[in-house]
Chains A and B, each alone.
Chain A
Amino acid sequence: QKEVEQNSGPLSVPEGAIASLNCTYSDRGSQSFFWYRQYSGKSPELIMFIYSNGDKEDGRFTAQLNKASQYVSLLIRDSQPSDSATYLCAVLKGGGADKLIFGTGTRLQVFP
């Protein structure tokens, strides 16, 4: 079992729709969760982080965390073609290891 799992996609949504990206993790000791966006040929850029169960909203982005189910998601409202990228879920490994473990990413395509 991979430590962080994501569906590789591509996830195709029309412009203006809500894109829902999902991620599961295996280490119950993990406390910090991150979503990064990576355009082709570029390095990842941080979109959001979430530490507590529930929802966290920032503009068009909402991160959702359910530690009991070991599940974290990212919702993108009013999706734009410029949102087309690979979205990486990352989990800070528990136990004081201080290491970010990345999923393989979900490729999102927003079509006009």
Chain B
Amino acid sequence: GAVVSQHPSWVICKSGTSVKIECRSLDFQATTMFWYRQFPKQSLMLMATSNEGSKATYEQGVEKDKFLINHASLTLSTLTVTSAHPEDSSFYICSAPSLQSTDTQYFGPGTRLTVL
């Protein structure tokens, strides 16, 4: 199956700093990638859809100025959490649709963000 990587796998930062998370499709091109957030013992919540070469589409309630998404190439999307606060601590996961079936998404390994 398709391989999606994320970097870093975990990050700890101080409140007020910004953190960038990278999502890469390793063996295929992805014009669309998805960013999810998962709080402990809760399900994945879609934050935004990242579109190569155009603006991301954010879900209702997600602040686009706080969660900056850049999809500058067909294999890389980045999520920057700006001015992070402890309530932003979560598991951030990206995904990309399969080439064989765009209905099917393959997930990256996730990035655990802890904001002190």
Asked whether A44 lies within 8 Å of B46 as measured between CB atoms, the reply is no
Q: Does any Cβ of B come within 8 Å of A25's Cβ?
A: no
**Chain B interface, number of residues (Cβ within 8 angstroms):** 23
What B residues does A104 contact at CB under 8 A?
A: 42-43
Residue of B nearest to A33 (CB): B103
Q: Which of B11-19, B78-86, B105-113 contacts A (4 or more CB under 8 A)?
A: B105-113
Q: For the complex, give the distance between the alpha carbons of A37 and B76 in Å.
A: 25
Interface flag for B104 (CB, 8 Å): yes
- Min Cβ gap A105→B in Å is 6
Residues of A within 8 A of B95 (CB): 100
Most chain A CB within a 10 A radius of its CB, from B43, B49, B107, B109: B43
Interface residues of A (CB under 8 A from B): 32, 34, 36, 41-46, 49, 51, 88, 92, 98-105
